[in-house]
């Protein structure tokens, strides 16, 4: 199954500072690009566990005795590692957001480029789909997700147009949704607005913000001292959470101070923010918004 080259492949794996006999986790397996590079750097006694909730990713599994692919959401990181008697790891890598494969399959409904059903589920086992969000959510719920997850200033207008349209008949596919929203911006700006609307619905369908919070807290618990967390994010909501957590181990407020008045923090920052260069962006447009942050557990 074809997946594009992973974004920031080398810097994100370099950031793990891999010990050949260590235990590592790739929580967003996708096409397996990051996992293959991690395995290349592991010795015979190293271990790599990978997570992916999308059933399509199973087609890319790697035949290697050091590798285990777990078909689950990475919000269950600790639970499923415990099943394999793993309670501490040397490094964790996460490449957040939607895989290139998910964007490129029209029937998944993730992309504004194609006509497809209102789906947007990263796992087809999930009950909540984009269809339910668009057609069943009330005005307050829709306004909230467009404002919070899409960061759209005109969230009330978008909400009213969707509700008015669905009162006539349910919106069944991406083309119908795009038609309802076509007059929200001039032609040269409408794609950006649509991308923000799609992002908001997708985040709600997949509970991406809640999942990220749960994952980061569990990652801190299971990393060994000196272990590395390498996270690639693609929009400001994700990046803010990752940045704050790596800075002070919490999402809001400030960490506690020790008796000398110093903040007690769980990570030290490894390098500064890393972003793709022009060459990578030209080769893979998805890389344009990528941000890589790396922390080492203290």
Both 13 and 49 in one domain: the answer is yes
- Supply the CATH number for residue 82's domain: 3.40.50.150
Structural domain of 168: 104-206
Q: Are residues 130 and 55 in the same domain?
A: no
220 & 262 share domain: yes
Same domain, 109 and 80: no
5: confidence class by pLDDT, cuts 50, 70, 90:
confident
State the pLDDT confidence band at 3, using cuts at 50, 70 and 90.
low
Interstrand relation of 23-26 and 47-51 (parallel, antiparallel or unpaired): parallel
Domain boundary among 206, 241, 276: 206
For tokens 């922390």, name the residue. Answer: 295
Mean pLDDT, the chain, whole residue set: 93
Do 111 and 200 sit in the same domain of this protein?
yes
pLDDT at 157 over 80: yes
Instruction: Mark which of 184, 206, 228 sits at the end of a domain.
Output: 206
State mean pLDDT over 271-293: 94
Q: Is residue 193 part of a domain?
A: yes
Residues 6+ apart with CB under 8 A from 124: 55
CB 67 within 8 A of CB 23: no
Which long-range CB contacts under 8 A does 238-245 form with residues at least 24 apart?
238/96, 238/97, 238/208, 238/209, 238/212, 239/291, 239/293, 241/209, 241/212, 241/213, 241/216, 242/212, 242/216, 242/293, 243/293, 245/216, 245/220
What are 113-135's pLDDT values in tens digits?
668 889 999 998 999 999 999 99
In a domain, 2, yes or no: no
Same domain, 186 and 221: no
Do the beta carbons of residue 68 and residue 85 sit within 8 Å? no
Helices 139-148 and 190-206: crossing angle, nearest 10°?
110
Q: 215 and 151 in one domain?
A: no
Do 110 and 154 lie in a common domain?
Answer: yes
Residue partners of 63: CB distance under 8 A and separation at least 6: none
Q: Residue 65: inside a domain, yes or no?
A: yes
- Any domain includes 79: yes
Domain check: are 201 and 224 in the same one?
no
CATH of residue 146's domain is 1.10.150.170
The tally of domains found in the chain comes to 2
Residue 162 and residue 185: Cα distance in Å, rounded?
15
User: What mean pLDDT is predicted for residues 270-279?
Assistant: 96
User: Which pair of structure tokens corresponds to residue 27?
Assistant: 């929580």
């Amino acid at each position: 199954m074809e997946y594009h080259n992973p974004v920031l492949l080398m810097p994100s794996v370099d950031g793990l500072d891999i010990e050949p006999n260590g235990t590592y986790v790739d929580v967003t397996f996708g096409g397996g690009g990051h996992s293959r590079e991690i395995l290349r750097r592991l010795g015979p006694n190293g271990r790599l566990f990978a997570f992916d909730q999308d059933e399509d990713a199973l087609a890319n599994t790697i035949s290697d005795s050091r590798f285990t692919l777990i078909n689950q959401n990475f919000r269950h990181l600790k639970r499923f590692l415990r099943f394999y008697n793993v309670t501490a790891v040397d490094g964790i890598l996460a490449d957040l957001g939607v895989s290139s494969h998910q964007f490129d399959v029209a029937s998944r409904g993730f992309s504004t480029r194609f006509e497809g059903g209102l789906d947007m589920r990263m796992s087809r086992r999930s009950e909540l789909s984009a269809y339910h969000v668009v057609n069943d959510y009330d005005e307050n719920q829709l306004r909230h997700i467009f404002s919070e997850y899409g960061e759209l200033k005109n969230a009330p207008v978008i909400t009213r147009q969707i509700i008015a349209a669905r009162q006539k008949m349910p919106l069944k596919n991406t083309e119908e949704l795009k038609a309802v929203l076509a007059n929200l911006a001039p032609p040269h700006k409408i794609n950006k607005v649509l991308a923000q609307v799609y992002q908001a619905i997708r985040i709600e369908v997949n509970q991406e913000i809640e999942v990220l919070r749960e994952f980061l807290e569990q990652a801190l618990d299971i990393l060994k001292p000196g272990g590395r967390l390498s996270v690639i994010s693609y929009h400001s909501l994700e990046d803010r959470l990752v940045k704050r957590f790596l800075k002070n181990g919490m999402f809001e407020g400030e960490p506690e101070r020790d008796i000398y008045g110093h903040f007690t923090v769980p990570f030290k920052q490894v390098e500064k923010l890393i972003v793709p260069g022009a060459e990578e962006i030209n080769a893979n447009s998805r890389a344009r918004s990528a941000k890589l942050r790396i922390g080492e557990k203290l």
